Structure 1
Amino acid sequence: MAPNLLRKAGQAVALNAIANWTTLIGSFLSIVIIARILTPEDYGVFVMALMVVMLPEVIASGTLGDALVQRKELRPGHINSIFLQSMTLSIAAWGLLILLAPWIAKGFGEPSVAPVLIVTGAILPIGAVMSVPAALLQRDLRYKEITVIDILGTVTAAIVGIVLALLWRNEWALVGMEMSRRLVRVCGFLFFAKWMPKVESNWLDFQELVRFNLANGTSKILQTFDQMLPKTLIGVTLGSHAVGVFNLPERLFQQANQALIAPFAAVAMPVASAMQDHRESLHQAMDSAIRMSALLAYPTFMGAFVVAPYAIPVVFGEQWAPSVPIFQIYMVIGLRAPITAIILGVFRGVGRPDVVAWITLTSIIATSTLLAFTYQYGLVAIAFALLAKQVITFVLSTWMIQRVVGFTVMRQLMAGSSAFFASCVMGIVVWLFMDFVPTGGHPLLHVIETIVLGALVYPVALYFFMPRLGRHILRAVRILLSGQPREALKTVRGALTEQGI
């Protein structure tokens, strides 16, 4: 069972990666264009409204569908029960947001937040309809269909966002962008899952799911609250401009995380659920996922850290220059992301969302304590507080996964160590190039040259830390340069399989 499941999981990771890379490219291009049209204040107003919607969205639709993925035996009544719960909670939450919108906007000191919040609240019932078919596709690892949906959603949202930004030049362009993405996704999930909402369910169906839903819901609510806390504090104390400045690096980090790490984290829960009684196979799958995600994530985060002071003002405009140090701190945070993201999926997969809840509660306590001492010193101090909090939760989560499934802390750290050291070498070379090689042409050309240099140095550095894999990658590069992309891909795939990745 394990080899077939791992093969299917590997295909799911590849398909999810295609979708997420397409999302990254499309979102990045749209962010660049829209960020040059709109102001940090526009972004700040939209982010304030979206933050408020996040918590009821998690309660209404972001957690309940996980029970359909995790459960070994699934009946139609379970599916209908989840839909009824999601829809009831989402409609009630939207109504409450409509009533409270003026007071919420007053709390932020931004009256324009109120209408944006009322309209953005429509994503709650949309998410309730989407949660069931999305969970059914994920349960069956049908990531081919999910890939198509994600690509369509990204392309549509990018087009809508850019057009509306050019026409309206305010925060409503971002609202339209988000709404269009959600609508395309819900239509796509319904079409591919071949599922239509039904209401036939009973009390037994609800009871069989309620224990997991309560534990999983608590953990996700706590995670969302933890994410909301810094920007809520910034919005209340420093205003919409500061929220916009802080949001850009966080958004870029989330996009990179989605493309590089999320494909592995997305399948961690269903794979862990299927392998929860086969610990050695689960350890092998976790080891492979951490190694592979680290190979991609570490050089990206390290390279972005080095080029950020030059690249962000050139790409996004000088008005976003204050975001640079915050972005660099987020890139340091990203170095622990591959391990943590996979660990959290495994906890849920083996039926222990309660552990995620305890880790997240610790994170909230750490965030609150650190922010209380740092927020008055500005955005960079807040970002450093988040970095310190991530160190605390990283130590706790790696220790807890060892206790729960027996995957040792040392094995977790060693899985990505070669990629980390190779990325450090690459970062030093790129930094020396940026500091000592004069800029001869357009600044954007210099940024591109720097990125290309990093992409060439990394596989060479990897050669010294993983000689066998490094030889295969260098061979694949030569094959690619000779005009044989398929053969190059086969070479890389064979090398990864040989390394147990």
Structure 2
Amino acid sequence: MPLTTREPGASQGPGPRGGLTRRTVGGLLWAAWGKGAQAVLHLLVLAVLARLLSPSDFGVVSAALVVIGFSAIFTQLGLGPALVQRPILEQRHLDTAFSFSLGMAVFVGAAVAAGAPLVAAFFQTPQVEPVVRVLALIFPMQGLALVAESLARRELRFRWLANIDVAAYGIAYGVVGVGLALAGWGVWALACAELVRVGVRTAALIVGQEQRPRIAWERAAFGELMYFGGGFTIAKIANYLAVQGDNLVVGRMLGPAAL
């Protein structure tokens, strides 16, 4: 049974075009607020952590996150944007997307953890190996949150999403990261902070979304979602390599500290 037959974000009241326009503009403003607030928090936290941690600590985590970020693309295969854009969205689409993303997240997380020695060898830095293995826990958390985040975007709940991102970053890095750095945890202060950020964000997204997907699979629903998601995945891979490719080269040639 369809959850909605309207365009994503469409208003139910009079003047749907005007209502949608206002909500879209408002969403863009809230998204800008989220990015701006995070940027300010990042500068403040970085100013503190730079006095407590070494460049190598930052570099090791940055190297690990480059690999984590690239691998995460394959856990979703564009299903999130497909859920947002699809005009008619049914429960079977949500269940299939949730089941696939969670299953792939567990698989990719295990593969990345097992391949951590290869990542460390690529960057010629043994310290990267345990960090990659721990940060691989990010994958299943992201898999759990895929449908909830996609529905929030579909409903144009950008204020909610922006506030979640700001709060999660502040708690994770401003409280946990700085606290662990003061306690002498070194590189693990950053690794644990990133885990907390993703964990807080995932929990908030799930709690804030009423619609609950189930573990279920339908081939037809998957094909309908991948009709859009496949092209998005290719574009995202190309974009990620364009943005992060230099970090791979620098990390390989000069070591993680240069990152």
TM-score w.r.t. structure 1 length?
A: 0.47
Q: Tell me which residue corresponds to 1:12.
A: 27
- What is the identity, as a one-letter code, of the residue corresponding to 1:183? G
Please report how far the alpha carbon of residue 2 of structure 1 lies from its aligned counterpart in structure 2 after TM superposition: 2.9
SS of 2:215's equivalent in the other structure is coil
Please report how far the alpha carbon of residue 205 of structure 1 lies from its aligned counterpart in structure 2 after TM superposition: 0.7
Q: Tell me which residue corresponds to 2:57.
A: 42
Question: Which one has a bigger Cα radius of gyration?
Answer: 1
Please report how far the alpha carbon of residue 12 of structure 1 lies from its aligned counterpart in structure 2 after TM superposition: 1.3
For 1:435-446, list aligned pairs within 5 A: none
For 1:49-448, list aligned pairs within 5 A: 49-61=64-76, 63-157=78-172, 158-243=174-259
TM-score w.r.t. structure 2 length?
A: 0.89
CA distance in 1, matches of 2:160, 2:127: 38
- What is the identity, as a one-letter code, of the residue corresponding to 2:202? V
Identity across matched positions, percent = 28
Please report how far the alpha carbon of residue 196 of structure 1 lies from its aligned counterpart in structure 2 after TM superposition: 3.0
Indicate conservation of the 8 Å contact 2:148/2:206, yes or no: yes
Please report how far the alpha carbon of residue 23 of structure 1 lies from its aligned counterpart in structure 2 after TM superposition: 1.7
**Any runs of at least 4 consecutive aligned residues in structure 1 with deviations exceeding 4 A, and if so which?**
none
Please report how far the alpha carbon of residue 37 of structure 1 lies from its aligned counterpart in structure 2 after TM superposition: 1.5
- What is the identity, as a one-letter code, of the residue corresponding to 1:126? M
Indicate conservation of the 8 Å contact 1:60/1:89, yes or no: yes
Structure 2 unpaired stretches of 5+: 1-15
CA distance in 1, matches of 2:128, 2:66: 11
CA separation of 1:139/1:220 partners in 2, compared to 1, >3 Å: closer, same or farther?
Answer: same
Indicate conservation of the 8 Å contact 2:171/2:197, yes or no: yes
Please report how far the alpha carbon of residue 169 of structure 1 lies from its aligned counterpart in structure 2 after TM superposition: 4.7
SS of 1:168's equivalent in the other structure is coil
Higher relative contact order (CA 8 A, sep 6+): 2
SS of 1:129's equivalent in the other structure is helix
Indicate conservation of the 8 Å contact 2:99/2:216, yes or no: no
CA distance in 2, matches of 1:34, 1:178: 14
CA distance in 1, matches of 2:85, 2:254: 42
Indicate conservation of the 8 Å contact 1:57/1:124, yes or no: yes
CA distance in 1, matches of 2:253, 2:180: 30
SS of 1:198's equivalent in the other structure is coil
Please report how far the alpha carbon of residue 21 of structure 1 lies from its aligned counterpart in structure 2 after TM superposition: 2.6
The superposition leaves residues 160-183 of structure 1 with CA deviations (integer Å, 9 ceiling, x where unpaired) of 111111112521111111111111
Indicate conservation of the 8 Å contact 1:61/1:124, yes or no: no
Indicate conservation of the 8 Å contact 1:26/1:155, yes or no: yes
Alignment length, in residue pairs? Answer: 243
Match of 1:2 among 17, 37, 55: 17
Please report how far the alpha carbon of residue 22 of structure 1 lies from its aligned counterpart in structure 2 after TM superposition: 2.4
Greater per-residue helix proportion = 1
SS of 2:89's equivalent in the other structure is coil
Q: Tell me which residue corresponds to 1:494.
A: none
Please report how far the alpha carbon of residue 213 of structure 1 lies from its aligned counterpart in structure 2 after TM superposition: 1.4
CA distance in 2, matches of 1:131, 1:215: 18
